[in-house]
Chain A
Amino acid sequence: MSKIRLLGTLCTAVAFVAMAASCGDNKTESTGWEYARNMYDPIGFNPDQPNPNFKNGLTAQVPPEHTTPVGFVRFEYANTLEGYEKAGVELKNPLIRNAQHLEQGAKLFKAFCFPCHGPEGKGNGPITQDRTLTTSKGSRKLENFPPPPSYSTGNSSRGGAMKDLTDGKIYHTITYGVGLMGSHASQLSPEERWKVVMYVHELQKK
């Protein structure tokens, strides 16, 4: 009977539509309809775009060797123990210690140091603590990052107490990193690093 077939097809269609509708969460992997896409794409190359004009296909090129970009401040101390000690003796914070700089330093510290070093530099940042991730696939415990030494009571891995670290030593460590800590030079400008150094001195007293 054609009627039955028709009704059967209809029911199946309704069932499939209902299923499809209940499965989606309104997110889409396509951008949908677009008009004049070329007006969205920049004429120049954005730094994170592929670029056929260069051999390695990148827009963000590394400056040629032995050149210094305009406005770039070179750090003349080597990433060695000697460089570290030398920076520790010779370098002084060029910024004047005032409330404004300290406040900015605190903000930068919160963004760049707090995840490991904790709110007061005691080495108890959130990623060193026990935490659980709950997702749509269930929940699991995350591995704890080894806690760094406390600014006020810990010992430096390069000798001496953390609370005695000088301007230059802290600046050297932020610039090059040490042990498990990576270099933060690409995230913090030299001026920002000095603001952080200023704030770290406050935390050494806590």
Chain B
Amino acid sequence: MRNISSFFRSVVKALAFITVFSLGVTTFAQAQDVKAGEALFKANCTTCHKLNARLVGPALAGVNDRHDAEWLHKWIKNSQAMVQAGDEKAVALFNEYKSVMTPFPTLKDDDITNILAYIKAEGDKKPDAAAGGAGGATGAAAANDNVSSFMLVGLIVVIALAFLVIVVLNRVIRTLEKVILKNKDLKVDDEEEDGKPGKDYAGRLKKLAKNKKLVFFAVLMVGGLLTSLGWKDLWNVGVHTNYQPVQPIKFSHQLHAGVNQIECQYCHSGAFKSKNASIPSANICMNCHKGVTGSEQYGGETSPEIAKIYRALDWDPKTQAYGNNPKPIEWVRIHNLPDFAYFNHSQHVSVAGVKCQTCHGPVETMETVYQYSPLTMKWCVNCHQVTEVNHKDNAYYDQLIAAHDKLKKGEKVTAAMLGGLECGKCHY
């Protein structure tokens, strides 16, 4: 009996050990799966897939429930072969998303298993992530509150200070009144003569008004002040320096041109080749914002500012398709040169090599753009007086110098040689 029970005990011990050990190994292996899967997922899948939203391809959270593992392995390795073979699910997917998924023949079975494990693990986490996002949004709101509360405290401090000043002045007035009352006894005659203090002021004013020199001086001073103020204001008529209108979308140049290091030309591609720097059409926004929705800041929802682009284009992020009711975004023009002055961007940017910041200021640091330069004629002329012309590799100046050489040699130079036959010389 004892033998049997000890044998039984050792068997149980061994079994328990094996179970614990194998459990440990499997959890360890699973952790490995997810981590390796994450790296693979980010390297291979994120270009077209998000976990919780449709992008180029479907949202991947829950994909393990929608299809079995064997099917997924086949699909990831070569989806097009499955479509051509007429697999029902494959054809349905291809028809729905209308794009071919990249074949990944180089991924091993283990790799695919790891990726699927990562998708499963992340997909289950979804509610947590959303809560985190909401937390972030409230955090941002709290920051906003901080700003306004700071202003509120400032306001209260200023009012309290003003009140304090009033109280102190009150005290001073009271003591002064006491002094006056003391003096009253000595100068009763004066009071009888002047009557009430109000009348006293009027009387003094009348006396002062009779002093012609003083009146002349006062009028001169007031006149001078008004003239100088008016002069300054008149010079600024039509000058819009520091003009910072509210735009329909809170687009931050600091974020896009500064932090993201996207060159001005990416959006304002006209600056290098045409008269207008051009305001980008919304399709250029969509080059990035098809994927970038700022949703992690707004608890999984699209950022309200980015949603304005989607509305303007009638783009449905859920189906990733454009509707047929687009409405243009009505940006407010900031830099407005009078129509009687000709200005050409490409001439300044491409030919002269002037940096955008020379005229537009540090736009890459501006949260909201404002007009940096006055854009007055004086401002233009000041720059033109000191800027040296770079005539190297410029056909226009080559032609000009060649014409001068001809003139020096005494050769005939016709108007046509100087571009006199160009259409725009007459028909501009």
Chain A residues within 8 Å of B, Cβ to Cβ: 1-4, 7-8, 11-12, 14-15, 18-19, 23, 26-35, 39-43, 46-48, 50, 57-58, 81, 110-112, 114-115, 126-127, 131-133, 135-138, 140, 142-143, 145-149, 155-159, 177, 179-184, 186-189
20 A-B interface contacts by CB (under 8 A): A4-B169, A7-B166, A18-B158, A33-B236, A33-B238, A39-B339, A43-B339, A48-B278, A111-B263, A132-B259, A140-B140, A140-B297, A142-B260, A143-B294, A145-B292, A149-B47, A155-B106, A157-B47, A157-B102, A159-B103
Q: Which residue of A lies closest to B100 (CB)?
A: A81
Interface residues of B in 190-204 (CB under 8 A from A): 198
Q: Which residue of A lies closest to B198 (CB)?
A: A2
How far apart are A185's CB and chain B's nearest CB, in angstroms?
9
Report, nearest first, the 7 A-B pairs whose CB atoms are least far apart. A182-B287, A146-B46, A157-B102, A15-B162, A27-B244, A111-B265, A126-B261
- Residue among B47, B242, B279 with most chain A CB within 10 A: B47
Do the beta carbons of A15 and B159 come within 8 Å of each other? yes
B contact residues around A28 at 8 Å (CB): 242-244
B contact residues around A34 at 8 Å (CB): 237-238
* B interface: dominant SS: loop
Partner of A187 from B151, B269, B328 at Cβ < 8 Å: B269
A contact residues around B35 at 8 Å (CB): none
Q: Which residue of B lies closest to A181 (CB)?
A: B287
With A47-B276, A135-B254 given, is the CB distance from A15 to B56 under 8 Å?
no
With A33-B233, A58-B328 given, is the CB distance from A186 to B284 under 8 Å?
yes
A contact residues around B102 at 8 Å (CB): 155-159
- Residue among A7, A27, A114, A187 with most chain B CB within 10 A: A187
Do the beta carbons of B140 and A15 come within 8 Å of each other? no
Verify if B346 is at the interface (C-beta below 8 Å from A).
no
With A115-B262, A146-B46 given, is the CB distance from A186 to B370 under 8 Å?
no
With A40-B336, A182-B287 given, is the CB distance from A131 to B246 under 8 Å?
no
Verify if B165 is at the interface (C-beta below 8 Å from A).
yes
Do the beta carbons of A142 and B259 come within 8 Å of each other? yes
With A115-B261, A145-B292 given, is the CB distance from A180 to B266 under 8 Å?
no
**Given A112-B265, A159-B102, 11 new contacts (CB under 8 A):** A1-B173, A27-B244, A39-B338, A41-B339, A43-B339, A48-B331, A50-B330, A158-B100, A179-B99, A182-B288, A182-B290
Do the beta carbons of A131 and B260 come within 8 Å of each other? yes
A contact residues around B249 at 8 Å (CB): none
Verify if B217 is at the interface (C-beta below 8 Å from A).
no
Partner of B140 from A8, A19, A137, A187 at Cβ < 8 Å: A137
With A19-B158, A179-B56 given, is the CB distance from A142 to B255 under 8 Å?
yes
- Residue among A135, A156, A180 with most chain B CB within 10 A: A180
Interface residues of B in 276-293 (CB under 8 A from A): 276, 278-279, 281, 283-284, 286-288, 290-292
Verify if B296 is at the interface (C-beta below 8 Å from A).
yes
How far apart are B286's CB and chain A's nearest CB, in angstroms?
6
B contact residues around A26 at 8 Å (CB): 242
Do the beta carbons of B240 and A32 come within 8 Å of each other? yes
Q: Which residue of B lies closest to A1 (CB)?
A: B173
Do the beta carbons of B254 and A133 come within 8 Å of each other? yes
B contact residues around A111 at 8 Å (CB): 263, 265-266, 269
Partner of A31 from B143, B161, B243, B337 at Cβ < 8 Å: B243
Q: Which residue of A lies closest to B151 (CB)?
A: A23
